[in-house]
Chains A and B, each alone.
Chain A
C-alpha cells in the first residue's frame, strides 16, 4: 500500500476515524490491529517474518533483562543483522559468485524495523528499557505509518506517548499540514523530476551539461521524495496522536558536511551514531581511530541503502568528507572568520559535495557513476 495511493488515504482516514471513536484503553490494540492489516495487505509472509523477528527480539529482550549477559545481546543483534544481510545482500552475493543470482524480494520496511529492534535490545541491555509490556512492544513493532520508509523510532519515546492517548486538536492540525506538505513534495516536485533524472541511468549518451543539470535535479528530487514520504509518515502518525522523529531539518542549508549529516536522514544517522560510532570508540581514541570510525559508520550507512558497490563507495565518499571536515575544523577552520559570507560559501560547497556524491547513488553500477564523474570533471 504505497503512500501515494488513494487506497492508503482511504485506509488512513478509516483507521483514524475508528481509532478516535473507540475507548482510550483499547487504542493500543487498535494500533496493533491496523498495523497487522497494513502488513497483511503487503503480503502474509512479510507479516510472518515481522512477527517472527519481533517475537524473537522480545524473547531475547526478556532474557537480557533477567541477567544482562553480553552474549545474549550479541546473539539477538547478530540474528537481526544476519536476517537483514540475507535479504539485502544474498541476491547480490550469489550474482557476484555466478551462482544464479537469487531474486529475493526485500520484505517491506525490513531495513527500518531491524534497526529499531537492535535499538530495542541494546537499550534493554543498557537498562534504559525496563519491563516492556507485550502490547506496547507490538504497537511499536506494527505501527504502520513508519513501516514503509521510516523514520527509525525509539522505543521509550514511542511507548511514553501510549500512556496518554487523548485527542489533541493541534496534533490533527499539524498532522494534516504535514500530510499536505508531504504529498505536495512527492507529487508536485519529486515525481515530475523522475523522467528527467532517469537519464542518469545511462550517462554515456548525455553531454556534460545534461549530466550536471540532471544531478542538480536529482538532488532536489531525492530530498523532495524522501522528505515527502517522511512528512507523510509523520503526518499519519500525528493523526493517531503519536509524535515520531523527523528525518530532515533543512539539510541543504547546512554549511558543512558534518552538520548536513545531523540534518539529513536524522533518524538513521542518530542510530548509527548511538549504536555504531560511539560504541566503536567515537572520537575518544585519537584522530586516526576517529577517522576510521567515521569511515566505518558511513560505510554502514552506504550499504544500508543498497547492495551494489556504488552505495558502499557513496558511504565512503561521505566518510572522507566528514574526515576532511573534521581536520579542517580542528586546524585551518579555527582561524577562519565566522560570518554570513563564510556560512553561505559553506552551504554552497556542502550542497555541491552532496550533489556530486549523488552520482554514486543514482546509478545501478559503479561504472556508470564513474562516467558521470568523468563527464562533470571539467566543471569541478
Chain B
C-alpha cells in the first residue's frame, strides 16, 4: 500500500455502518440533484425524445407527461395510440408517423410533436394520458385501431387490456362505476404500486427518470425495441452491442372476413364512454386507422360507420380504405411509406380542423 498524499487511501473496511449510510445518502442526494438538473430542465432539447421505450415503465410515461405540462414555450401535438402510432417495424424514429409529421410541421417552430403512443395501449390508457397531461393550448390526437373491436381483443379484462394500470386507476377514479356498468371493466380503487409511484415520482428524480437515464446513458435508440425490453428486464448494459438490428413485426399477413358487428362489441361502448369523458377537452381530435387484416366489404364498411358515429366529437378523421395493402408490413403495422401517407392525411386534417 502506498502512503502518500498524492494517492487516495484505500481502507479495507468502512469505518462503521453509519459511515456507509451517511455517504450513501449523500451520494444519493447528489445524484438526484444531478438527474433533476439534466432531465427536468430542457428535457426535449438537452436529452432528446422521439418515442417511449417499447415497454416503458409508468414513471417514464409520467416523466414525459410532466415535461409536456411544464414546457410553456411550446404547444404540444401529442399523438396517442398503440403500436401502429409508436412505429413497430420502423427503426428510424424520423420515419414514424410522428417523425414525418414533424417534417411536415417543421416551419411551425412553436409546435413540438410528442409521440406518447405505446404498444398495447388501450382507450382507457389514452384517456388517462389526456387527463394527466392536458393543457388548453396543446392538441391531442387519439388514434383508434379498428382491430381492437374484434372479439379477439374486445372482451379482455382490465388487467389484460390496460397498459398503465396505476395511471388509469388514478386518472379515471371518478368514472370507476361508469366503466363497470357499461363495459364490465373493474378499475381497481387502490393499487399499492400506484401509491408508491405517486409518492416517489414527484420527489425522487432518479425514480422518475429511471428509463430516461437508461436510454440516455447508453445512447439507446428507442426504436431498438427488443434491446430495450432486454435492458429493462435484465438490467444489462451491453444492449448497444445489439443495436441496429431490424425490428421484427411478428406474424405475416392474413386477410380475414370480419364477422363481428361492432355495434355489439364491448369495445364500442367503451370508446363511446371514453370519448364522452373527453368532451371536456376541446383539443382532442380522433383518427380512425385502417388495417390490413379484415376484408374491406360492405359489412366492415358499416362497422366503420358505426364506429365513427360512436365517437362524441365532430373532429374525426377516418383513414379506412385509404392506405393500400402494399404499405403494410403485416396485418396492422405500416411501412415508413405508410406512415408518411398517414402523416400527410393527419396534417391536412389538423389544418382543416383549425387545430394548427
Contact = CB atoms under 8 A, between A and B. Distances in A.
B6 interface: yes
Interface stretch (B30-38, B62-70, B86-94, B335-343): B30-38
Interface string B1-34: 1101111101111000000000000000001001
Interface string B212-224: 0000011100000
Contacts of B2: 157, 160-161, 243
Interface string A1-18: 000001001100000000
A267 interface: yes
B309 interface: no
B46 A234 contact: no
Contacts of B1: 243
A170 B46 CA distance: 37
Interface string B38-50: 1000000010000
A170 B6 contact: no
A192 interface: yes
A270 B6 contact: yes
A170 B34 contact: no
B238 A171 contact: no
A335 B209 CA distance: 53
A234 B8 CA distance: 9
Interface residues of A, number: 26
B260 interface: no
B34 A246 contact: no
B237 A170 contact: no
Contacts of A309: none
A184 interface: yes
Contact of A245 (B6, B37, B238): B6
A292 interface: no
B37 to A, nearest CB: 7
B241 interface: yes
Given A192-B46, A243-B2, A174 B241 contact: no
B240 interface: yes
Given A6-B240, A9-B237, A192-B37, A187 B217 contact: yes
A84 interface: no
Contacts of A244: 7
**Which of B10, B237, B238 has the most C-beta atoms of chain A within 10 angstroms of its own C-beta?**
B10
Interface string A168-194: 001100100000000110011100100
A170 B38 contact: no
B34 A184 contact: yes
Contacts of A245: 4, 6-7
Contacts of B5: 249
A360 interface: no
Interface string B183-225: 0000000000000000000000000000000000111000000
B34 A189 contact: yes
B238 A10 contact: yes
A232 interface: no
Contacts of B237: 6, 9
Contacts of B4: 157, 245
Interface in A231-256: 234, 238, 243-246, 249
A192 B12 CA distance: 35
B10 A174 contact: yes
Interface string A202-242: 00000000000000000000000000000000100010000
Nearest to A238: B10
Given A174-B10, A243-B8, A267-B6, A6 B46 contact: no
A243 B10 CA distance: 9
A266 interface: yes
Nearest to B47: A192
Given A6-B241, A9-B237, A246 B31 contact: no
A189 B46 CA distance: 12
A259 B186 CA distance: 68
Contacts of B217: 183, 187
A170 B11 contact: yes
Nearest to A247: B6
A246 B6 contact: yes
Contacts of A234: 8
A270 B1 CA distance: 20
B7 A246 contact: yes
Contacts of A238: 10
A10 B237 CA distance: 10
A267 B4 CA distance: 12
A6 B218 contact: yes
A85 B4 CA distance: 32
A140 to B, nearest CB: 15
**Which of B8, B12, B46, B238 has the most C-beta atoms of chain A within 10 angstroms of its own C-beta?**
B8
Contacts of B11: 170
A219 B38 CA distance: 18
Given A6-B218, A6-B241, A170-B11, A192 B6 contact: no
A187 B212 CA distance: 13
B216 to A, nearest CB: 8
B87 to A, nearest CB: 24
Interface string B234-256: 00011011000000000000000
10 tightest Cβ-Cβ pairs between the two chains A and B: A188-B34, A245-B6, A6-B240, A170-B12, A192-B38, A174-B10, A246-B8, A243-B7, A170-B10, A188-B38
20 contacts: A6-B237, A6-B238, A6-B240, A6-B241, A9-B237, A170-B10, A170-B11, A170-B13, A183-B217, A187-B217, A188-B31, A188-B34, A189-B34, A189-B37, A192-B46, A243-B1, A245-B6, A245-B7, A246-B8, A249-B5
Given A188-B31, A246-B7, 4 more contacts: A192-B46, A195-B46, A246-B6, A246-B8
